[in-house]
Amino acid sequence: MIHETSIQGLVQGVGFRPFIYLLAEEMGIKGSVANRNNGVIICAELSEEQQEQFIHRIRTEHPPTASIHRIEIKELQKTENVFTDFSIIQSYSESDEVTQVAPDIAVCDNCLNDRKTQPHRIQYPFVNCTHCGPRFSIIRDLPYDRKQTTMSDFEMCSTCRSEYTNIRDRRFHAQPVACNQCGPKYYYTKPSGEEENDYRKILDLCVRFLNDGKVIAIKGIGGYHLVCDATNESAVNQLRKIKIRDTKPFALMFKNVKSLSSYVFLNKEEETNLKSWRRPIVLLKQRPTENHFPIASGVNPGMRTLGCMLPYMPIHYDWFQQIESPAFVMTSGNLNDQPIIVTPEEAEQQLGNQVALVLHHNRPIHNRVDDSVLQVCGNVACLIRRSRGYAPEPFFADIQTEGILAFGAEKTNTFALGKGDTIIQSQHIGDLKNEETFSFYTESMNRFQRLFRFTPRLLACDLHPDYLSSIHAETMASEKQIPLIKVQHHHAHAVACMLEHHLNQPVIAVVWDGTGLGDDGAAWGGEFFLCDRKGYTRLAYPEYVPMPGGDKAALEPWRMTVAYLHHYQLPIPEIFLKRIGKEKIEKVIDLMNKKINSPLTSSIGRLFDGFASLIGICDTATRQAEAAVVLEQCADESCLLGYPIETSGNLISFRLLFQNALNDLEANVSAAIMAAKFHNTLANLIVEKVKQLSLETGIKQVVVSGGCFQNKRLTEQVQQLFSDSGISLYLPSQIPCNDGGVAVGQLAVAAARMHPACQN
């Protein structure tokens, strides 16, 4: 019997076809394997028994970086004995055009070993194979072929070529294959203007500088990093000066799990993610330090968590071989929150005068990708920034998405495009208000469209007309005469999570974040929806309060404190008055009374702000959501108390919360206890409200999303409280809960509205 097996998932650019070939050969199967749109297709002559075993072995033995989403098997009406052997065949027809791009993959153990044993790769720092190495960052065009990557200028030596063409070799069709003779090299420019490219000398210099507490810049996979010894306080302070960054924590790279585990608590899921080939930064809880080499306090001032990752390029391993310190700071090489630097020219120009060494390599970075960030809540890995190692792996939408382009939100932007029945999300872009970031946005959008052979037929953007992404969408819609759908911000958050969990029936969605424009013109952000993929009903939300100064309120949390107290007609506490100043407070009250620049909001992000400033831990913020982070980090971990909440109908009031908090302040209750009570209150509010709404609607599935759920404490409390409630809780995992996930939601809403028949 001839079977046609199509396999969807991450199966291209990861050594899947050679795997199938060798497996078929081992099992004595005749047939062929080829790449197709979004997958591979196998035609094979199989007995019933062979078929079962073949599929089982594909599922269980596939290359570590591959993942299988779906396997479909068809019996073909063909006579037997059409195949004489098993072969890898090319497919040329346009409809079969390959559109899958693998993410960048951390160097694998076999390659690290080859650096010790293969004569042409001794200590070679850009070693890679069919299962590891750069992918997305070097791809200029498809099909994924060396000449379409930034490796095109490197001609393979005869040894590499023989590996590349031998199906039994680990480097069969490994497009970036390279060695000491023919591959990319590190280099730096000496003061004399001469270039040094002797790897041993370069390594020695890095080691000397890092040991001496200097900051160095180095070109990585998707951009430059700034690096220094994480146990050296003055080196870390020096790095802060360079980055002009007050308190935002730096990410660390540890030598290995063993050295890391004496600094942080680590559960199984966290360890799995740390060690995964995707090599994200994982946010971990710091242990009380009693180490020989304590981490410098300047790494994460005021925080209990450390962002940690493991080495993913050979040079990282080489540093740790020679340096005693267990960890380096590895932060993205950029200034003023601009996009991460990718070219040697920019690196020299912007960082040259600030660091001891700018180390380049001559493999150009085509697609910029930052390190990805995640944290584990309960046992769910929740991506916070989806970039290197993840982008542009598609999400399977189970609905036609072809031709839909979604523009995303404003801060933490990503965009997304629809291809077949998948959604391809861009790498992390950043805050579009930054001019350079906006250029990165438009450039990446053009590149994605070309790379994925994408023609936009339907556009989706946020309801907010002032988002630069919305303006960009409007422009494209009118220039190219393409219809544009505007999607409410929180609905997009909810639907992104529904898509990830393949939820097609209506759900209760709790979407809490900073702000997103509501359909009544107010700034929403504390929403309880009944929604499906096409639309929503707003079931409950917090009473509106003014946001004096508009966007300014997000950076000056004290304004929200005044707003809540004024709104609930509660007194301004003496200690707060003293700290902020009577005049400033009166000015803000005046703004609100005269309704000048005081849009109304139901945002829980702003509630975090107002509460943080009330208890005296964050009056002004230097970055987005800082108050919420400080509040989470300072909260006492054992306190189970909370504040009362009033609800009337679909409105939630925080009057009693603030009134009781004022009493606590009066009674000198500590900020840690008050912060804990605040978190407990919100977690209870979610669960109680959802239980009530579930009874009213009969719906037993709840989706939780929005930037507030980057708060691990809140999220884990909610997980805990729902665990025995009979209500199924769905959290965003692979699609960030923050605005980095909005584009996917917009796209899914547009797809659902465009293809109503595909629903349910």
Binding mask 715-754 for Zn ion (x = CB under 5 A): ----------------------------------------
- Chain centroid to CA 725: 30
Stretch that binds Zn ion, among 75-83, 156-164, 350-358, 536-544 (CB under 5 A): 156-164
Query: How many chain residues are in contact with Zn ion, going by CB under 5 A?
Result: 9
**Least distance (Å) between residue 184 CB and Zn ion:** 11
Closest to Zn ion by CB, 198 or 551: 198
**Least distance (Å) between residue 118 CB and Zn ion:** 10
Closest to Zn ion by CB, 41 or 108: 108
Closest to Zn ion by CB, 111 or 708: 111
Query: Count of alpha carbons within 13 Å of 730, Cβ hemisphere only?
Result: 22
- Using CB under 5 A, which residues numbered 129 to 148 contact Zn ion? 129, 132
| Candidate residues 46, 102, 139, 179; the one interacting with Zn ion per rule CB under 5 A | 179
Instruction: Report the DSSP pairing between strands 507-517 and 701-705.
Output: parallel
Q: Does 157 bind Zn ion (CB under 5 A)?
A: yes
| Candidate residues 111, 508, 580, 686; the one interacting with Zn ion per rule CB under 5 A | 111
H runs (alpha helix) in 119-232: 158-164, 199-211
- Sign for the pseudo-dihedral over CA of 628, 631, 634, 638: negative
**Least distance (Å) between residue 20 CB and Zn ion:** 19
Q: Does 160 bind Zn ion (CB under 5 A)?
A: yes
**Least distance (Å) between residue 200 CB and Zn ion:** 19
Closest to Zn ion by CB, 47 or 162: 162
Closest to Zn ion by CB, 128 or 350: 128
- Where residue 698 falls (left for φ over 0; alpha for ψ -120 to 50; beta otherwise) is left
Closest to Zn ion by CB, 181 or 321: 181
Place of tokens 């200097």: 214
Two tokens, residue 235: 């080196």
**Least distance (Å) between residue 173 CB and Zn ion:** 13
Cα(404)–Cα(390) distance, integer angstroms: 21
**Least distance (Å) between residue 182 CB and Zn ion:** 3
Residue 118's Cβ-count burial label (10 Å; 0-12, 13-18, 19+) is: middle
Q: Does 102 bind Zn ion (CB under 5 A)?
A: no
Stretch that binds Zn ion, among 154-162, 338-346, 383-391, 721-729 (CB under 5 A): 154-162
Cα(623)–Cα(626) distance, integer angstroms: 6
* Bond from prior residue into 392 cis (ω within 30 degrees of 0): yes
Closest to Zn ion by CB, 157 or 758: 157
Q: Taking Cα atoms as reference points, which of 531, 428, 429, 437 lies closest to residue 489?
A: 531
**Least distance (Å) between residue 309 CB and Zn ion:** 18
Q: Does 174 bind Zn ion (CB under 5 A)?
A: no
Q: In which order are the strands placed within the sheet that holds 327-332? A: 195-196, 186-189, 357-361, 216-219, 224-229, 327-332, 251-254, 305-309, 281-285, 373-377, 380-385
Total residues belonging to the chain: 760
Closest to Zn ion by CB, 129 or 652: 129
Q: Taking Cα atoms as reference points, which of 321, 302, 330, 115 lies closest to residue 226?
A: 330
**Least distance (Å) between residue 61 CB and Zn ion:** 17
**Residue 268 identity (one-letter amino acid):** K
| Candidate residues 108, 460, 607, 627; the one interacting with Zn ion per rule CB under 5 A | 108
Instruction: Report the DSSP pairing between strands 86-88 and 30-36.
Output: parallel
Closest to Zn ion by CB, 98 or 129: 129
Stretch that binds Zn ion, among 155-163, 292-300, 485-493, 632-640 (CB under 5 A): 155-163
**Least distance (Å) between residue 427 CB and Zn ion:** 22
Stretch that binds Zn ion, among 160-168, 218-226, 429-437, 710-718 (CB under 5 A): 160-168
Closest to Zn ion by CB, 43 or 160: 160
Closest to Zn ion by CB, 108 or 721: 108
Q: Taking Cα atoms as reference points, which of 451, 426, 393, 396 lies closest to residue 105?
A: 393
Stretch that binds Zn ion, among 17-25, 106-114, 283-291, 731-739 (CB under 5 A): 106-114
| Candidate residues 67, 113, 166, 181; the one interacting with Zn ion per rule CB under 5 A | 181
Closest to Zn ion by CB, 13 or 506: 13
Closest to Zn ion by CB, 132 or 627: 132
Instruction: Report the DSSP pairing between strands 380-385 and 651-653.
Output: unpaired
φ, ψ for residue 595, nearest 5 deg: 55, 40
CA distances from 654 to 251, 411, 644, 647, 662 (A): 36, 28, 8, 9, 12
**Residue 143 identity (one-letter amino acid):** P
**Least distance (Å) between residue 186 CB and Zn ion:** 16
Q: Does 221 bind Zn ion (CB under 5 A)?
A: no
Stretch that binds Zn ion, among 14-22, 79-87, 121-129, 388-396 (CB under 5 A): 121-129
**Least distance (Å) between residue 124 CB and Zn ion:** 9
Please state at what angle helix 655-666 crosses helix 671-697, rounded to 10 degrees: 160
Cα(300)–Cα(357) distance, integer angstroms: 24
Per CB under 5 A, residues contacting Zn ion are 108, 111, 129, 132, 157, 160, 179, 181-182
